[in-house]
Amino acid sequence: MRTALAAAALLLVSGCGATVAQDTSATDPVTVTNCGQQVTFDEVPSKVVTNDTGITELMFALGLKDRMAGYVVDGDNTVDLQTSPWKADFDSTRKLADKISKEVVQGANADLVFAGWNYGFSESTGFTPDALKQLGIGSYLLTESCRNGAGKQRGIMPALDALYTDLRNLGKIFRVEAKAEELVQSYRRRIENAGKLMAGKPRPKVFLYDSGQDQPFTSGRNAAPQDIIGKAGGDNVFGDLDDSWTTVNWEAVVQRAPDVVLIVDYADGEANTPAQKQAFLEGFAPLRNSPAIKNKRFYSLPYAALVEGPRNPASVEAFAKYLAQV
């Protein structure tokens, strides 16, 4: 659908204490590359449904709250909402459901769904971009979640590059390119400055512990923790895995002898707080001789800070400060 009115207009969109000049007069289609596919938007989406905290915060950071029909966030992710720099935007935007589905987005009269593989999209549930296309609803996939051609493995570029790619793509789609570029350059400066805290110091080996007691769920080299850990001055012990978020085995964790454990703060059904996850790791016999366990080197960040999203630069800063002290 093409914009009916060609008259010049600027819409001021509120965004976390600021307003963003949005050019709604543009009538030319915009094409971006999303997960290797060329996607064309004939007009600016106006009823976007987002899935997950970090994805929703990308919209808020760009000042696009007024372009949203609502968001979907798991009810267990209360820490994310309570700690969000965009809490006021969450409070004033409609939460549609705990789990995304075709019925949820149809009920919101969505014209675009912003989600990702394992961030809402899944063949097992039947909620896929192809299924939405059949309903006349467009999709934009989080770049961190793009599949890389090896089965269902995810990740086609470094995680922070994925963040910058999505910001710039969304800037084009919603005609807020100046704001998007402002954010990208600001994030780059913050991350560069944070990296100076560990300059010249030994790089500790870091194990990202998301969840799982039978088998740990962690980050390969294509998920956001890879760059958060790396830019903060550490090395992800599973940075050799060509995948995003993935399951490994405890034997591999023990063999890689992490110096620090970075814990994801969210409820997983087995250990619902960072303290409970730390207690499990400290009581897990195979890990007792790992440097991180012996020296009690644990640090936690909220889930939304460790998936692709606008909290990533602050995560690098916070973790770099921690590493510089251990």
Give the Cα separation of 5 and 24 in Å (integer): 9
CATH number of 198-323: 3.40.50.1980
Domain boundaries, the chain: 10-189, 198-323
Is 10-189's fold the same as 198-323's? Answer: yes
Q: What is the pLDDT of residue 258?
A: 98
Q: What is the pLDDT of residue 23?
A: 53
Q: Are 68 and 95 in contact (CB under 8 A)?
A: no
Would you identify the CATH topology of the domain 10-189?
Rossmann fold (3.40.50)
Cα dist from 212 to 120, 146, 308, whole Å: 20, 24, 21
Q: Residue 250: is it exposed, middle or buried by C-beta count within 10 angstroms (0-12/13-18/19+)?
A: middle
Beta bridge partners of 83: none
Q: What is the pLDDT of residue 2?
A: 27
Give the Cα separation of 69 and 185 in Å (integer): 29
Q: Which residues of the chain have pLDDT under 50?
A: 1-19
Q: What is the pLDDT of residue 4?
A: 27
Q: What is the pLDDT of residue 15?
A: 40
Give the Cα separation of 81 and 265 in Å (integer): 12
